[in-house]
Amino acid sequence: MSFINKLLLGDNLEILKGLPDESVDLVYLDPPFFSNRNYEVIWGDSGEVRSFQDRWSGGVDHYIAWLKERVAEMHRILKPTGSIFLHCDWHANAYIRVEILDKLFGYGNFRNEIIWKRTNAHNEEGQLGKIYDTIFYYSKTSRPNFNTIKSPYDVGYIDSFFKHEDNRGQYRLQVLTGAGTRNGDSDSEWNGYIPSKSGRHWAMPKKLFAKVAEGIDTTGWSIIQKLDLLFEHGHIVFTKNGTPNYKQYIDDHGGVQVNDLWTDIENVSLKAERIGYPTQKPIALLERIIKIASNEGDIVLDPFVGGGTTVAAADKLQRRWIGIDQSVQAVKVTELRLNQQQALFSQPFTVQLHKYDYDRLRNMDAFEFEQFIVTQFGGQVNKKQRGDLGMDGKAADGRPIQVKRSDDIGRNVVDNFKAACERYDKKAYEAAKAERRPIGTIIAFSFGKGAIQEVARLKNQEDVFIDLKRVDEIIPIAQKPKLTVSLQDAGSDKKGLREIAFAALGESPAGIEFYAWDFEHDPAKGFKPTVLIDKEGMQTFRFKPGMHTIAAKVIDNDGMEAIETLRLKVNGEVTRVGG
């Protein structure tokens, strides 16, 4: 199966129903919590507000029913080795576990209740601060994909345990012996210490020794020789009572196996990765989940993708992915975020909105366009690209279809089509004619007066019916918004940087959602936003003297976008070059 990563706009229930059984390896979902608060409305566009009303028209039972039918679909599409991670908080976590996950996945497939410490301080009047979220981890069967992973110690742990420091860094002392006595080499006396006297034997820290002895041939070495080498390199110290210990540095430790209490992942509020909406989850959280329950090339699904943290992490970790959101804004922010992060290893992805971009369709590869339109029309594609009299497919009733990827189709196209139908299948042509049915369908963006008159003439004078279909009668099409960008020079600062104020003005019948800016635009690399969400279209940026390319994007409520590029020459003054 050739799989393309996808971002899909729509109610996840409908979209999930269309995904095949057992096709996904990992689902992470961070649905809106059951808080009935306006802060649950993040994006504020019509799609999201509809979903908010949907799940909050009743009490907790209603919310649980709303979520449960969606999780049931997720269960169906998970592979037998697949897992689900459901992110929630105190508002409904007890109900979600008992009423949804235990019932759909089974109590026996419960793996963990992960506690993620989201914040430190959270004052609440008359109660204790609520500082964690819950992530329920269930598997579809008893044989899930599972990888053990390690995490570096958190800062508090390091400071309380790695108390010593030398020029190599922070370290702690670890014993060089193991419990129980052994004979021979493992009980040799070294620097006055005989392990068996304390009921122990020498236990060499293998990784440390390998590191210190790198490049030395140590075959046949005794424990005493090895201890001498570590000692010479300053790795062994003696306690007051003469017991030898070795120094374990933080970097050599390799971390601890991750358990179900996650206190080492900071929330995004203060971090650079923050892209400006309230429920964004940290990428480190998603990377950890993805590493635990999937492998490279696996398919990760987030049906409440929001600003795209899951798919951004999946892309980084070379998993394939599907992201769904009901909000146009969420889908577009995710698309921009992925563009921003796209690297050499990134996989291509498609974005499916409710409406199709006219310009994109007009510029699509001709054969790809024909295939797409014939399928959307409910027809069957003609796989041959040549030698079929220009027929691109057949409608459900067998009549031929010709697709033109152009506007203003003329009279000659109609006449040629009629002749082609006659030659293509003479019998079918005659039968359609006799029954006064269309002999075929021509699909195009628009038809000129000549074509329409010719179809009328053929019908009236020759009893030949030809069906003309505009693309927008088959699929909804939207035009790009308009965008103009103006700028104002705000002078130089003390460091000699030039401050410029930009104002973007978008126009669209659908309404403008937001703007995004790329202040170091390189057309060869595509649009990589410096500012990802700007609701007002106003930005100020400082530039060094020299040439600069700036690109602004406007996104409307249909998800259509327009881009405007400016070339600026910045020295003693600011000059707009070209365009």
Binding status of residue 280 toward ligand SAM by CB under 6 A:
yes
What SS3 state is found at 369? helix
Chain residue at closest Cβ approach to ligand SAM: 306
- Stretch of 238-246, 275-283, 352-360, 390-398 lying at the interface with ligand SAM (CB under 6 A): 275-283
Nearest approach, Cβ of 119 to ligand SAM (angstroms)? Answer: 16
d(CA 253, CA 446): 68
Binding status of residue 307 toward ligand SAM by CB under 6 A:
yes
Binding status of residue 518 toward ligand SAM by CB under 6 A:
no
- Stretch of 301-309, 470-478, 491-499, 562-570 lying at the interface with ligand SAM (CB under 6 A): 301-309
Give 278 or 511: the residue with its C-beta nearer to ligand SAM.
278
Binding status of residue 326 toward ligand SAM by CB under 6 A:
yes
Cβ-contact 513, 557 below 8 angstroms: yes
Binding status of residue 30 toward ligand SAM by CB under 6 A:
yes
Cα Rg, the chain, nearest whole Å: 33
3-state DSSP: the chain helix, strand, coil percent, rounded to 5? 30, 30, 40
Among 176, 289, 330, 464, binds ligand SAM (CB under 6 A): 330
- E strand intervals along 118-258: 132-139, 150-151, 164-166, 169-175, 177-179, 200-202, 236-238, 244-249, 256-257
d(CA 35, CA 546): 51
Binding status of residue 564 toward ligand SAM by CB under 6 A:
no
Binding status of residue 304 toward ligand SAM by CB under 6 A:
yes
Nearest approach, Cβ of 483 to ligand SAM (angstroms)? Answer: 25
What secondary structure letter does DSSP report for 447?
Answer: B
Pick from 259, 298, 287: nearest CA to 82 = 298
Binding status of residue 11 toward ligand SAM by CB under 6 A:
yes
Binding status of residue 32 toward ligand SAM by CB under 6 A:
yes
Amino acid in position 547: M
Around 239, how many Cα atoms within 13 Å sit in the side-chain half-sphere? 11
Pick from 498, 477, 459, 483: nearest CA to 553 = 483
Give 292 or 414: the residue with its C-beta nearer to ligand SAM.
292
Give 32 or 205: the residue with its C-beta nearer to ligand SAM.
32
One-character DSSP codes across 199-219: TEEE---HHHHHHHTTTS--T
Give 332 or 418: the residue with its C-beta nearer to ligand SAM.
332
Binding status of residue 281 toward ligand SAM by CB under 6 A:
yes
What SS3 state is found at 160? helix
Binding status of residue 205 toward ligand SAM by CB under 6 A:
no
Binding status of residue 12 toward ligand SAM by CB under 6 A:
yes
Give 324 or 512: the residue with its C-beta nearer to ligand SAM.
324
Among 195, 205, 306, 440, binds ligand SAM (CB under 6 A): 306
Residues of this chain, 39-58, that bind ligand SAM according to CB under 6 A: 42-43, 48, 51
Binding status of residue 34 toward ligand SAM by CB under 6 A:
no
C-alpha pair distances (Å), 558 with each of 7, 322, 328, 510: 15, 20, 7, 6
- Stretch of 318-326, 339-347, 370-378, 438-446 lying at the interface with ligand SAM (CB under 6 A): 318-326
| Other Cβ atoms closer than 10 A to 12 | 23
Binding status of residue 279 toward ligand SAM by CB under 6 A:
yes
d(CA 338, CA 275): 12
- Stretch of 57-65, 184-192, 299-307, 460-468 lying at the interface with ligand SAM (CB under 6 A): 299-307
Residue 575: phi and psi, rounded to 5, are -125, 135
d(CA 175, CA 243): 8
Binding status of residue 400 toward ligand SAM by CB under 6 A:
no
| Other Cβ atoms closer than 10 A to 547 | 11
Give 63 or 541: the residue with its C-beta nearer to ligand SAM.
63
Q: Tokens standing for 81?
A: 């080795």
* Size of residue set near ligand SAM by CB under 6 A: 20
Among 264, 325, 370, 513, binds ligand SAM (CB under 6 A): 325
- Stretch of 174-182, 321-329, 443-451, 567-575 lying at the interface with ligand SAM (CB under 6 A): 321-329
Helix spans in 435-558 (H)? 449-462, 471-474
Chain contacts with ligand SAM (rule: CB under 6 A): 11-12, 30, 32, 42-43, 48, 51, 279-281, 304, 306-307, 309, 324-327, 330
